[in-house]
A and B are shown apart, each in its own frame.
Chain A
Amino acid sequence: MVDQPIVEVRDLRKTFSVKHAGGVSTLHALSGVNFEIMRGETLGLVGESGSGKTTAGRILVGLVPAGSGSVRLFGHDITGADGKAQLAKVRARLQFVFQDPYASLNPRMRIGSAIAEPLDIAGGWSRKDRNGRVAELLDLVGLPKTSIDRYPHEFSGGQRQRIVIARALALNPQFVVCDEPVSALDVSMQAQVVNLLLDLQDRLGLSYLFIAHDLAVVRAVSTRVAVMYAGSIVETAPKSQIYSDPQHPYSRALLDAVPRADPNYVRHPVVSGEVPSLLDPPPGCCFHPRCPFAFERCRVEVPILRESGPDRRVACHLFT
């Protein structure tokens, strides 16, 4: 039997109301997002600010309610009428790692208590098992056992992100949403945390949704990549293909814009313009005002994400 995806997102939409002097406007954060994640896989979700990648991640773990569309986790629909009850059934198998390890840890809580907190909330752990599990988790993320009695301020950013990861793994989740987990870290620390996430995936069979703006980091961790722009996925593909042969003009522009650590690299022309306002998105394809290939149809008709090759999908009228 073919593996069922552990995450299935169908036509997910979300709007927020924004108050301002002239009244209330609607911000279109997600306009019909579709993707799935298989067991043991990492889906890299890349995009610039306002692309909707963080909103998508938050809806997946139940931090933000979905507007419309469906999200199925381990086969349970968390967006339906009894979504809350369904989410409760899968809650222990889900975890979230945020960008800022400084804000994710209580400065007055010792590391041992912070890591044990999920165990204490879940209950049913004897004191001995609980302390044993904390020691095991510290070991798993490569921190010394003496960390238990120390406070967050005694650790560097990279070490704090290890602590956050240890806490996220306390209850043996199967699926972890990582939202920009290394973007607050220095390059030398970033590589350590990325490798840790990869090692943990190998050892524990984890699946990740890895949300990031840094395309090189996404390449290092992902199995497949989805590129988002202004609330929609514009392209998904296995990672080697998206980097060597991007189909959507925005994917191409994004790759071309990344500065290479190579003084001899000759850059392609830079894409002009800026991300459109989500309060008043342009008609048709959201990227058409910046797209060098835009034609009449792009200005009137929203492109749908369709099959464009084996395991590849693109939302672009050039491919229909």
Chain B
Amino acid sequence: MAAPLLSIRNLTVQFRVDTGWVTAIDDVSLDVGAGDCVGVVGESGSGKSVTALSVLQLHDRVSTRMPSGSILYQDDDLLRAKGSTMRRIRGSEIAMIFQDPMSSLNPVLTIADQISETLRQHQGLTGAAARRRVVELLGLVRIPDAARRADDYPHRLSGGMRQRVMIAMAIACKPRLLIADEPTTALDVTIQAQILELLRDLRRELGMSVMLISHDLGVIAEFAQRVVVMYAGRVVEAAPVTQLFRRPVHPYTMGLIAAVPALDSEAPRLTTIAGRIPGPQEIIPGCRFSPRCALVQPSCLDEPPSMQTVGDGQSARCPPRIQVLGVRHG
């Protein structure tokens, strides 16, 4: 098998707080292959956004440390890369879009100005050539009347149109990997469907890999090929998407899938997961899901469980469940 495009290995990220350092993500590993679409799903505090920001080294250097792990992109370890290498990679190799397009756009510059900046920086395009490319990109993200829209300021556009502009900017230099952090969470459901369709088409047309971060299992089920489930700073399960929904292994994944209210059927009550999500400063021995887990065993509290393979590309951080299911080394 070819080496993955992006490989995060055993990454730990800590943030400085008043009382010392708290661990935001712990021993996170995930791979994104060329042309792959990997979904990262989790609730608040799961560490999914921290993981994404680490790839592009967008954390504040003063208050963040990464005591272990590596992020391999092709031949570079991004954790140890020089500033000039990171500047080349950001935007032209790996691009990122965020949840709130309004706060990602400069309100006093036109759309064309903002997209041209990327083109000038990474591709040396200026003047009429840059302008042509801007209009072409706006067309590519299906903004109607692109030539006229290019001269609008962000406040003139709807939320959906702003996210299209962000996507145009992200794909301006034909990146090999697009990281999309909750790209449709702030949008209405019909606009969300349009943006997901656009991302799917662009991925195919441009041969990009996508790492999609979302709290919404519906969005993940529809978009991702492989899924990584995070809980309280750790990866608890990773699997191909159909396998994850057909046979979730980790009790948290099982609970999360069951807790999604059904649109196409009715039940007198929703299925819940007892308890609440722990804060990053709460010390929980062993498995961090154990206080909420219906299948908890004494051994779960001893030490953090390791990630084990179940078979068919599926792995999970829950030895008791894997033992019950029977480990197959696939």
Contact = CB atoms under 8 A, between A and B. Distances in A.
B276 A257 contact: no
Interface string B265-289: 0111111110011000000000000
Interface string A86-114: 00000000000000000000000000000
A265 B277 contact: no
A219 B161 CA distance: 30
A216 B241 contact: no
Nearest to B197: A270
A48 B190 contact: yes
A267 B193 contact: yes
A256 B273 CA distance: 28
Contacts of A215: 189, 263
B35 to A, nearest CB: 18
A49 B194 CA distance: 16
A262 interface: yes
A188 interface: yes
A49 B256 CA distance: 27
A215 B266 CA distance: 12
Interface in B182-214: 188-194, 196-197
Interface residues of B, number: 44
Contacts of B220: 261
A225 B43 CA distance: 28
B219 interface: yes
B194 A187 contact: no
B260 A187 contact: yes
A27 interface: no
Contacts of A275: 188
Contact of B276 (A158, A243, A260, A263): A158
B266 A267 contact: no
Interface string B201-240: 0000000000000011111111000000000000000000
B270 A263 contact: no
A254 B220 CA distance: 19
Interface stretch (A6-14, A167-175, A189-197, A301-309): A189-197
Given A220-B270, A259-B192, A259-B196, A243 B259 contact: no
Contact of A260 (B160, B241, B264): B264
A272 interface: yes
Given A48-B188, A156-B277, A187-B256, A257 B271 contact: no
Interface string A232-275: 00000001100100000000011111111111110100111011
Interface centre among B161, B218, B261 (most CB of A within 10 A): B261
B306 interface: no
Interface in B244-271: 245, 255-257, 259-264, 266-271
B188 A213 contact: yes
Contacts, number: 124
Interface residues of A, dominant DSSP? helix
Interface in B272-330: 272-273, 276-277
Contact of B188 (A49, A159, A240, A267): A49
Interface string A148-175: 0000000011110000000000000000
A220 B261 contact: yes
A196 B113 CA distance: 51
B215 A263 contact: no
Interface residues of A, number: 45
B44 interface: yes
Contact of A188 (B158, B197, B259, B268): B259
A216 B143 CA distance: 30
A240 B266 contact: yes
Contact of A263 (B160, B194, B221): B221
A313 to B, nearest CB: 22
Contact of B43 (A186, A195, A216, A274): A186
Interface centre among A49, A191, A195, A253 (most CB of B within 10 A): A191
B263 A253 contact: no
A86 B330 CA distance: 71
A261 B158 contact: no
A186 B261 contact: no
Interface centre among A48, A186, A187, A275 (most CB of B within 10 A): A187
A255 B256 contact: no
Given A186-B215, A258-B218, A191 B259 contact: yes
B257 to A, nearest CB: 6
A188 B218 CA distance: 15
Given A156-B276, A192-B272, A267-B193, A186 B44 contact: yes
A217 interface: yes
Contacts of B262: 216, 219
A261 B192 contact: no
A59 interface: no
Interface string A198-237: 1000000000000001111101100000000000000000
B242 A264 contact: yes
Contact of B259 (A49, A190, A258, A271): A190
The 8 closest A-B pairs by CB, nearest first: A259-B218, A48-B188, A186-B43, A216-B261, A191-B270, A257-B193, A188-B273, A261-B217
6 contacts: A158-B276, A186-B43, A189-B276, A259-B218, A262-B245, A270-B194
Interface of A: 48-49, 156-159, 186-192, 194-195, 198, 213-217, 219-220, 239-240, 243, 253-265, 267, 270-272, 274-275
Given A156-B277, A198-B268, 6 more contacts: A216-B263, A257-B193, A259-B193, A261-B217, A261-B220, A274-B161
